[in-house]
Amino acid sequence: MKSYLSKAFLLCQIDDRNSSGADVTAFESEKPVIFSIQEVEEATTGFSESRKIGEGGFGCVYLGVLGDKEVAIKKMKSSKSKEFFAELKVLCKIHHINVVELLGYASGNDHLYLVYEYIQNGSLSDHLHDPLLQGHQPLSWTARAQIALDAARGIEYIHDHTKTRYVHRDIKTSNILIDEGLRAKVADFGLAKLVERTGEEDFLATRLVGTPGYLPPESVRELHMTYKTDVFAFGVVLAELVTGKRALIRDKQDLNKMKSLISVVNEIFRNEYPENALEAMIDSNIRNSCPMEEVYKVSYSMNIP
C-alpha cells in the first residue's frame, strides 16, 4: 500500500522552503497542567450551551478562556472514560505542529475534562461538505493540497517519530482541524492505541473501532488493525478533498443503500479510460481552477485494490 506521505506529495508541488526537519522531531515530553474544576467551569461560563462548539461519541467540546488564552475543553461523558485516559496517555507524549496540543486536564465531581489548544476554523469536514452553510468559503486546490500534506505529517509523526508508536484508528475529515491560516492538525486521540512490533510489520490486535467509510475491508474481515488502517483512512480523506463528497454516498442504483466513496473510485479505475469519469467527480468548487494533471495523480493514488 502506498504511504500517506507519497500520496500527499502527489497532490501538487508545494513551496516547502519554510519548513524544516524540526516538525518531525520529538520534543521533550512535558507534564500537562492540572486545572481545577472551578477553573474549567469559569472558563466556559458553567459549560453554557452558547459555548458548545462540538459534540461526539465521547463528550461535548466547549470554547473556554483561561487567562488570556482561548482553549477547547472536552467534557467527557463518563467519569471512568477509557477515551479520556487514552487521549491523556498519548497526547502527553506527542508534540507536533500538525497534532492538536493537549494543554492539561481536570477531574472531580464525577467528571473528566481535557483542555486543548483552540483551533479557530472548525474541521476539514465543515470546509468540504456544504461549506457555505458552515460559514466557510470553498477551499482552493492549493489549500486542499497543503491540508493533505499537514495531515500526512501529523499521521507520519505518531507512526514513526515518537518513542512509542501509535495507530490513531479514527482518521477522518471531522478529526482534522483547520486553523485561521488554513493549516491542518490531527485531533481526537480517544481511540489511539500503542502499536506492537511483530517482526515483519506493526500489528494491533483489537476490537474493530472507527468510522464506516474509512475502514479498510481487511480490517472489517479480520477484525484487526495496523498502521495501514490509518493509511487507508487517509486515502479516503484525499478522495473527499478531490471530490467534495462524503466518505459514504448514496448508491445510484439503490437510493436506500449507501456505498463507500473509495469503492466508487475503484469502480472508475476498472474502466479502460477513467479520466472523463474522474473529471466528473471533481468537486465543482475547484473543477475549473485546479491543475488536472495533479488531480489525476492524486486520484490514481486513491485507487486502493
List of the chain residues with pLDDT < 70 = 1-30, 79-80, 196-207, 223, 303-305
Q: Could you tell me the end-to-end alpha-carbon distance of the chain, in angstroms, rounded to an integer?
A: 9
Q: How confident is the model over 143-189, as pLDDT tens digits? A: 999 999 999 999 999 999 888 888 899 999 999 999 999 999 999 99
> Would you state the pLDDT for residue 26?
32
Identity of the residue numbered 93: K
E strand spans, 56-211: 59-66, 69-76, 102-108, 111-117, 166-167, 176-178, 184-186, 193-194, 196-197, 202-203
We find that the CATH architecture of domain 4-21+121-301 is Orthogonal Bundle (1.10)
Q: How confident is the model over 106-145, as pLDDT tens digits? A: 998 788 999 999 999 999 999 999 999 999 999 999 999 9
Active site residue 170: yes
Identity of the residue numbered 203: F
Q: Structural domain boundaries of the chain?
A: 4-21+121-301, 26-117
Q: Which three cell numbers stand for residue 97?
A: 505542529
Residue 263 DSSP SS3: helix
Q: Which of 126, 150, 170, 230 is catalytic?
A: 170
Nearest to 232 by CA among 290, 284, 303, 161: 303
What letters, b where the CB count within 10 A reaches 16 and e where it falls short, cover 202-224? bbbebeeebbebbbbeebeeeee
Q: What is the CATH code of the structural domain delimited by 26-117?
A: 3.30.200.20
Q: With beta carbons less than 8 A apart as the criterion, state whether 230 and 3 touch.
A: no
Residue 77 is labelled as binding a ligand: no
